[in-house]
Chains A and B, each alone.
Chain A
């Protein structure tokens, strides 16, 4: 409710059932062009301008300077991927507060990386992790519990080997496979309507659980591929989905990781593999990683990022999860390693 209005404006409030400052923001929206809804309530133009002024200051909430943003960003941690080369190329890992897209062909490792991040987000802060919880939205049925248990056990082993001081040893008492599993929330959606419904309910879920630091949607492409006949509706729904994801990432301070598929684009007789969901969707995520094969090797390329140079890094999927390749066995990858170093150093 607006507090600083003269009494006759309260008549306006009660007669129009505006219940919250957000409703007044609607007044500002609609009435920038015409004051008639406000005037209909029987107010003079002066009083109407007062209402609009109060609504504006309420809704805007003041601006933020770039220095404040820089300080905030310096505090933001990233979620490690356990592949040190990729973490180096991303300058820490998957950033919190932004949307990251993983695209790639089937079987290349997108779901593996998503499951790995669901475990890595919980690494305690004294080990350099974010110590957060995760909500995993599964649209393909690819969330396999056995795999999560494997990765969780491997992460616990990895951290207990690294534990040096007392603080880390104490943290390891609560960083166990059971606690890791209890902090992963999973929900399965079978089609795009269920996915949109889940996203409507997510902001409330995130407010109730402030420790959540990661939202994974695996994958965002499959439910929308059903809409191959209604492309305009698909574009509209994807646009609103993208906006909501960005809003959730910034307001709830979480990392949003989405998985996309590849599709074949035919152009003048040539065919090319491109990320699915169209070029419009390409603007939605802040960072895009492309996972692909090159012979027997798996590579990940950063191909869209405002803060990192384009880089390509090799990784492998082991029984423990998403990891670096062993440098001593792969002489070619050493060259790639120095390339990544140079790109990271020049950032």
Chain B
């Protein structure tokens, strides 16, 4: 740690070096009394040291919401949204998935979660004026193998799904080149993927969408009921890694979770997003006066997830929360 970078008098810097303090982060976690004892400096010197260390730690100074609205700080609030490809869902999500936050997609088995995730992997590749982010996607599979045939079918059907996009643009995009698929069968390889490969792809701008399909599989299978403490730990590490990636690279993150219709049992063993009443798919999304009613929006799945032209058998997946969510206990 180069203490000379801080604007402090040499006397204070010398005292800090003598006390063998390693970093500004360490300084910030100590109280002023502890620092006085460690360094032998007076209270006002310690206050100066804390102010300098805190300013160095700080990511950015407070900005006003008006400045954010004017787009003066795109790294903090980019205002970018990833369209889902279905105008009805986009309207519900007020544009699409927000960049920089984690969105959880939960539903029962066979509801269509993987379908929606595949569709997002295609819609991210369109330019911003068509709701995309002009980049590819990283798809992390934790249970079944990646549905490559289905992806190819979706690619072929893109022109009929995305009638709003000029066909020349659609044919110019090589969709399958920009989807990076990782199979992680256990937590160890998932962590390696998130700590090494994902940041590399994101930093190079090759990828602007992270999909984890599914979160529940790994955490459900690797832990027994007694290991809940260790599971918590791993879950928190995982969710904070996802948060960091999302915020640092202004990327939407989609986590697919599995939900079960449960009795009103406060703490039950299976799907992850429960915290109380266990029902993860009927919560109203904040910001809407009408709670999201799955039956009103049946989706047809042939060419992709979209609102139907004719009534069909209801096949719905529920977008949980809509804005930000980390799988938490």
Contacts and interface: CB of A to CB of B under 8 A. Distances in A.
Nearest to A266: B267
Contacts of A210: none
A187 B62 contact: yes
Interface in A1-60: 17-20, 22-23, 26
Contacts of B59: 188-190, 194
B64 interface: yes
Contacts of B55: 197, 201
A318 to B, nearest CB: 5
Contact of B58 (A105, A182, A194, A296): A194
A141 interface: yes
B61 A182 contact: no
Contacts, number: 163
A184 B65 contact: yes
Contacts of A141: 100-101, 243, 246-247, 324
Contacts of A292: 276
A263 interface: yes
A141 B325 CA distance: 10
Given A141-B100, A273-B266, A317-B287, A186 B64 contact: yes
Nearest to A244: B31
Interface residues of B, number: 64
Contacts of A233: 29
Contacts of A205: 62
B54 A198 contact: yes
B209 to A, nearest CB: 16
Contacts of A20: 43-44
A187 B244 contact: no
B182 interface: no
Interface stretch (B119-127, B137-145, B173-181, B232-240): B232-240
A264 interface: yes
A79 to B, nearest CB: 17
B28 A19 contact: no
Nearest to B68: A145
Given A201-B51, A228-B232, A262-B276, A185 B62 contact: yes
Nearest to A239: B31
Interface residues of A, number: 67
A193 B287 contact: no
B65 A319 contact: no
A106 B321 contact: yes
Nearest to B58: A197
Given A147-B287, A189-B59, A272-B266, A23 B25 contact: no
Given A19-B44, A23-B43, A262 B64 contact: no
B7 interface: no
Contacts of B98: 144
A105 B276 contact: yes
Nearest to A237: B29
A142 B54 contact: no
Given A186-B65, A262-B275, A317 B286 contact: yes
Contacts of B76: 186, 188
Contacts of B283: 107, 293
A142 B287 contact: no
B42 A17 contact: yes
A135 interface: yes
B66 A201 contact: no
A183 B67 CA distance: 10
A330 interface: no
Give the interface centre of B59, B282, B287 by most chain A CB atoms within 10 Å: B287
A183 B267 contact: no
Interface of B: 24-25, 28-29, 31, 36, 42-44, 50-51, 53-55, 57-66, 68-69, 76-77, 79, 94, 98, 100-101, 232-233, 236, 240, 243-244, 246-247, 266-267, 273, 275-277, 282-289, 291, 320-321, 323-326, 328-329
Q: Which 5 A-B pairs have the closest CB atoms?
A: A197-B57, A271-B267, A197-B54, A200-B54, A185-B62
Given A142-B101, A182-B64, 20 more contacts: A107-B325, A112-B287, A141-B246, A144-B324, A178-B66, A182-B65, A186-B62, A190-B59, A197-B24, A197-B58, A200-B51, A200-B54, A201-B51, A201-B58, A233-B29, A237-B29, A264-B266, A273-B276, A293-B283, A319-B289
Interface of A: 17-20, 22-23, 26, 105-107, 109, 111-112, 135, 140-142, 144-150, 178, 180-190, 192-194, 196-198, 200-201, 204-205, 225-226, 228-229, 233, 237, 240, 261-264, 266, 271-273, 292-293, 296, 317-319
9 contacts: A105-B275, A140-B326, A141-B101, A141-B246, A142-B324, A233-B29, A271-B267, A273-B266, A296-B284
